[in-house]
Every structure is written in structure tokens, then in C-alpha cells.
Structure 1
């Protein structure tokens, strides 16, 4: 399987003028093996060890990304190929608030509002990002069952806006809200606040 052939199979599967996503949930093509495509922990896409420099191509492939159990695939209506994802496929690179709603943007320009459909959960970071005193960090569901991790800059900027809330006599949660949706972006020992 080469990426050019895969790209041609996807031609016409989406509306060129919109960000509508192809209906990958409805596609159940045969598995055609794995390809040497890796989404690195920093969100960059590599094919055969080289970075994919065309953002339009990365966005196209991201639009047909599918996760089944803990495996990731790129799918077209006629074939499915396995890829490697070091952590999660998306990195949240930008944020802004509009009408008290927290809106996030990924490295592939997916935009969404944090809410019950796009929840935030705290998870341990991957080994490649762990420091000796690592704590759980926020991940956000971008779409379907695909998640993104906050880029370090976004994480620190949001930490500055968070409100410390005691959740026990030993732990403080750093809380934010997006509309009515409340969530934590981190926890600290009570004696460190």
C-alpha cells in the first residue's frame, strides 16, 4: 500500500468546500495489512521514517482515521490499513473562549467545543513525555473515539485560568468550565497550593 494510491481512493469521499468528515463508521472494508505510518507523540505524521510535510495530506488522512479497540487504521470504502500512534492522534495547539465556551483546535485544524460530547479526562502521560514527578495530564475527545492531548503551551495557559478547588484534605483539583460543563485539568497535593 502506498499513500498515493490511498489518497486517490479518498478522492471524492468528502465535500471539498467543507470540513464534513467521511462516514468512516459506515465503512467496513477488508484489512490490507499495516503501513509504515506513525503519528508521533508530538502530533507529527511520518511515513517510512520521513515527516509528511503537506498539511492537506495529513488532514485528509486524519479525516479517515478510525480506532478499533486500541488499534488505529486509515480506511477508505475499499480498504483498511493499520498505522502506529505513539500516544493519541491529535495535539491541541490552540484555544480560545467565546461566550464562556472553551474552543480547542488540533494540529490538523479540527475545531470543537469542550462539552459532554468532547469531555476532558486526566491520564498518565506516555513514557516519552514523563518526567520523574509526572502527574496525570488532560486529554480531550476530539471526535468519535479519537482523543487529543493538550500541547504543553496550551496546558500551561489553561492552568493559569483554572480555579483551585479542594476535593479532599489532601488534594486540590484545578477546575475549568466550558458553558455548564465543569472539568479538571490537573490535581495537586493540598500542601503545594
Structure 2
């Protein structure tokens, strides 16, 4: 049965949170297989997945592989199963946040993001928004980050500038995230 990507514009944040919680991911953080190797895969800076130099065009394959991703403390990315751990080159971030839904305002705001893998992430205490070299990123899981797409960053900037023009920031799930110059 094919997977239908969620349309955030048609969902409220409660529905998005339910969908995000319902996705059962394998416990890759607990697996420590002895067999290691090279997956011959790469994730480009724009979030495109490649195997042996050819683009992986099937979204279901990207979604499946993305559920097996983990990033070690040394920055090395891996595809992990109970029996194998295969390295994967990641040019920038493992994911791209391609869509955002916002409800509420100021401290009562909640932000949900859809990634290029169709995963849903709610920004907050466990999924921070952070600036790296002036670019916004969203923490996803297991040491993995999503680069925030330019169009989504413009949405964040609009919110931040309208609610906190001197030191732009956005709130989500009770946490304030700087999205501009330091205070």
C-alpha cells in the first residue's frame, strides 16, 4: 500500500502531533552490530539521496532508509540494522524541513515541520531550532538534523520579526528559539 504524505495545511497541530507520535521507528540507537561497511550511499546538501552515484527516486525507499539513520557523536552517519552498520555520507544535514505549520502566537505558539522524508517533527524541548553559521536547523532524532528550507525560514523570520523585532525569535511548545542576531 503506497504511503500518502501528510498535507500540513489540512491538519491542525493536534492531528500532526498524533501522526508524529504514531510513526514507530526502529530502535537504531540501541543496536550495536559488529558487522560494519559502506552503504555506497550519500545524502546531498539539498536532501537528495544517492546510491552508487544514482539518485534514489522512490520516496518510499528514502523514507525506509531514513528510519534506519543514526549520527554518532563524531559526526559519522550510519544506516543501522540489528546485524549491520553501514556508513553513509551526508553533505550537510540528513533531512530538509520543507513545510511548516504554526498555531498560536508568542509563548503559546506550536510549530510543526514536515521533512523531505515526510517525517513530522514538533519543535520544542526535544527538537530544538538552532542557527549554524547563520542558517537554521531543526533537531530530528538520534543526532540527526534537518536544514530548514529557505521558504520555511522566511516563514519563521516573518513570525520572529513580527513578535520580537529587536531580537528575532520564535516560540514553540514553551521554548524560545533565536532566529536572528544574538541578544
**TM-score, reference length from structure 1:** 0.75
Alpha-carbon distance in structure 2 between the residues aligned to 1:143 and 1:42: 19
Which of 136, 144, 168 pairs up with 1:174? 168
Q: Kindly state the Cα deviation for residue 51 of structure 1 after the two structures are TM-superposed.
A: 0.6
Alpha-carbon distance in structure 1 between the residues aligned to 2:33 and 2:68: 12
Residue 62 (structure 2) aligns with:
58
Is structure 2 residue 177 aligned with structure 1 residue 183? yes
**Structure 1 vs Structure 2 CA RMSD:** 1.9
Name structure 1 gaps, 5 residues minimum.
1-17, 125-135, 167-171
SS of 1:33's equivalent in the other structure is: strand
CA deviation profile, 1:25-62 (whole Å, cap 9, x unmatched): 12111242213211001011011111101111111110
Structure with the larger strand share: 1
Residue 90 (structure 2) aligns with:
85
Q: Kindly state the Cα deviation for residue 165 of structure 1 after the two structures are TM-superposed.
A: 4.5
Alpha-carbon distance in structure 1 between the residues aligned to 2:30 and 2:115: 24
Which of 91, 114, 123 pairs up with 1:114? 123
Q: Is the 8 A contact 1:138 1:186 kept in 2?
A: no
Is structure 2 residue 46 aligned with structure 1 residue 48? no
Residue 139 (structure 1) aligns with:
137
Q: Whose RCO is larger (CA < 8 A, sep 6+)?
A: 2
SS of 2:180's equivalent in the other structure is: strand
Alignment length (residue pairs): 156
Q: Kindly state the Cα deviation for residue 122 of structure 1 after the two structures are TM-superposed.
A: 0.9
Which of 45, 70, 76 pairs up with 2:75? 70
Is structure 2 residue 152 aligned with structure 1 residue 148? no
Alpha-carbon distance in structure 2 between the residues aligned to 1:158 and 1:97: 9
**TM-score, reference length from structure 2:** 0.79
* Structure (1 or 2) with the larger CA radius of gyration: 1
